[in-house]
Amino acid sequence: MNVKVFKTQAEIAAAAADFFCEVLLKKPNAVLGLSTGSTPMLTYEALAGRSAAGLADFSAVHTFNLDEYWGIAPEDEQSYRYFMQKRLFDKVNIRPENIHFPDGLAEDAQAECARYEAELAALGPVDLQLLGIGRNGHIGFNEPAEKMRAKCFCAELAEATIKANRRFFAREEDVPRRALTMGLGTILSAKKILMIATGENKAGAVYSMLRGEISGKCPASFLRTHGDAAVLLDEYAAALI
């Protein structure tokens, strides 16, 4: 894994945007794997700026997001679909029909996961997958477990993840307990992977990812088995390595 440490989150965002622009320059119709949460927000801001300056063209790009809460409508302000629309899609020249997401309102979660997996298989593999890391080492909603799931599935969120997501909701009981997520095998099938981690609260997870055993105790540790994975850290997240 190629690990780089930066002084500021703005520097990380610029470096991450460079990764995306390099992929788009080589392959204008690239398939991009995207993530949500606070970690990629500055990266999406940087990409929107590159798009506005004519340095990043999304007109032929397809995007697939890692996950979506189950039971939340796409227009709900807490949905990941809404997050992506406001943070990136409204600010670049992507075609709406090229945006791919799990349907959080699907009645049959298993069937929806199979549909999403097939949709990605038809257009993929992902050329560049953007990832964050949870405090417990999860990527997407692949929570720590003895046995990891390979394909898209409906995940039960760990209590630590529910608590971390609490700040985005008015009440704790509003925080979703399940989510549709790409499985670990699907994530690792991407040609390139870009992981971003910032803040001292991620230092423990980053240490486990880079220095601990490769196991389901820290799902992100499996990124060490990938042939083309980069990790961008600030000094706080890198404090223990």
> Which residues are annotated as catalytic?
67, 136, 138, 143
Strand 229-234, strand 192-197: pairing? parallel
Q: Which of 161, 235, 237 is nearest to 197 (CA)?
A: 237
| Whole-angstrom distance, CA of residue 139 vs CA of residue 90 | 25
Hunting for tokens 């390139």 — which residue is that? 192
φ, ψ (nearest 5 deg) of residue 118: -70, -40
For residue 122, the tally of other CB atoms under 10 A from its CB is 7
What angle separates helix 41-52 from helix 80-87, to the nearest 10 degrees? 40
Cα pseudo-dihedral 6, 222, 204, 144, rounded to 10: 140
